[in-house]
Structure 1
Amino acid sequence: MHGYYREKVKSWLHSVLDTAEEQHEAPVIEEVQSSVPEKPAEEEKHVEKERKKNTELQRPVQEYMECLQDDSSLLAVHPELDRLEKALLDALEPYCVTATLPCGSRIFIRPILPIDKIVMKDLIETGEISQHSLSLRFNSVITKVMDSSLDYFCNVNFDSHFAIAVLIEEGGIWKGVASGRFIQDTSNPKEAEWAAIVVDSRHGHKIGSYVLYYLSVLAHRFGIDKLMAVVHPENFCVLHWMKKLSATRLFKEECYYWVFDTPIEKSWIASEEVRNALEVGANGKTELSEEMRSVLVSDIRELKNYQKSEMHHESFIGSRRNMSVHPEGK
């Protein structure tokens, strides 16, 4: 991920890693954004016409969210709500996957939704995702995550930035336990950075392997030949993956990346049934059972509870009681 898109992501990571005092965050973001030269309007239109989006998932998500923001939809009588809900369901379903882990637990993979911010927030505050795991994920020691950053991670365009959520069935309830994503390099569309995180209690259950295989197949479908990531030297699991994938190291923009080809070899997933399900979903061809369609509908309807956060809202790792919402000016 380089150029314009990388600069935008960097501005978000300033808040994630808490590397600046609160009063300096806005100037930093402003400076990064202002350093990017604006394209003439005519040129932008020309580029948009030439490039076909990888998916059109963003549109039904936005239309449904906009409908929910209409006051009349709160009464559940909005004339468009049912139609838009079905349109969103039909758009999301092809990219979903239902699979069984080696331990016997069922997982459900689907495109990430804005409401998943609440799940991420809960996992961080309860410590189900530990400080150690987050530090390995972001290559820096952190103690809190800004809610605005969680908004960024859960509101994606499903084009150059595609993300998935992973839910696991526990006692008849589906609970979020992982997420994964890749962000395509707009200056070199054949490359993308990938990332994934799994709750600590589910490490070693193959969830991360399933996520990476799905992402690699989807990335290849998008015309992305290389997936890359900056891997923390103590992230032994991912380093082991890189060895198995015969990944190479590349020094670029003052960082060492681990780079591997897409798609990952089929032998990565031992179960043929699981592998086929992941490939079908990554190719946008899944047809869910009625049971899983109802799970997806339930998640869609939860979007009514979504609220965009402000910069000063924070989630502290492992301490729900210490989560602070700072008053204005403090």
Structure 2
Amino acid sequence: MKRLLAALAAAALVPAALAQGAADFPTKPVTIVTPFAAGSGPDAVLRLVSDKLGKLWNQRVTIDNKPGGGGFIAIEAARRAAPDGYTLIQFDSEHIAALPHLYKSKNFVTLQHFDPVASLFRTPFFVAVSSQSKWNSMKDLIAEAKAKPGQITYGSWGVGSPGHLGGQQLDALAGLQMNHAPYREVSQLYANVGTGDVPWAFASIPSSQGIYKAGKLKYIAVAATKRVPQMPDVPTMAESGGPAGLEVNSFVSLLAPKGVPEAVKKKINADVAKAIADPEIRARFDTFAFEPLAWSPEEITRQAEIKSKIYGDLVKRGNISLD
């Protein structure tokens, strides 16, 4: 009986201990692994957020850039870490939702290995064409693509990227047949769109603003249901004559190796929300046309599942594989 009472007493202390552990978190430095290269838009935002978190937590927050390998270099660096919240990984929605469909031979489902913890931002994508292009709307682009099946090419920053899958979705919704040209270098992609060597591409503000500000690009639509405040003169996809249901965007979140205590996840989620509410970070988001997000882990999962369904259908339709 004494042993039973002792065991019950110990069990009763566990929730309190976990809550105390979450309240104290972190008691040592935190590492955030990212598959994005140093200097990229997601990396720049992550460094601002990590600086705010470091001050809030009174602990060092280190960014570990591990680009390449379709995200798997970063994944391997983070997946075997202890599930205690001290190792996080930055993913975009494609690492979460598209990667399992693109690398079927790896049998890797992101959310079977990582738990969503906190959201950071969502970025919209614009349809970019040369400033000299005769296309001034999606209606123009679609009309020519229909008149010349298999002859219009669009570029993207890689097979399976939002720019590629967005083009596949446009094909499906508008009944088109266009060619895809993947690029290794994002700067080269938009340089070629600017010269007209590639007729069009989806583009985010940070990836294309240099060519845009040089007057070599124009945006004929944003693939969204609402106009973007930073580019109020650019019409939505529907306003420009494109499919009303076509939305192309990517959201970026922080995840952790599966098994992080709920109390720790909630604390990180709340503290990240505080960080991205900071005026300095909001100002940087505005520069990039990033939409701040403060989703719960459950909402991140729900949004990822929606994208996974869309991406799975597109990958199957286009017979796309990175195996």
Q: Taking structure 1 as the reference length, what is the TM-score of the superposition?
A: 0.27
- RCO higher in structure (CA 8 A, sep ≥6): 2
Q: Taking structure 2 as the reference length, what is the TM-score of the superposition?
A: 0.28
Which structure is larger by alpha-carbon Rg, 1 or 2?
Answer: 2
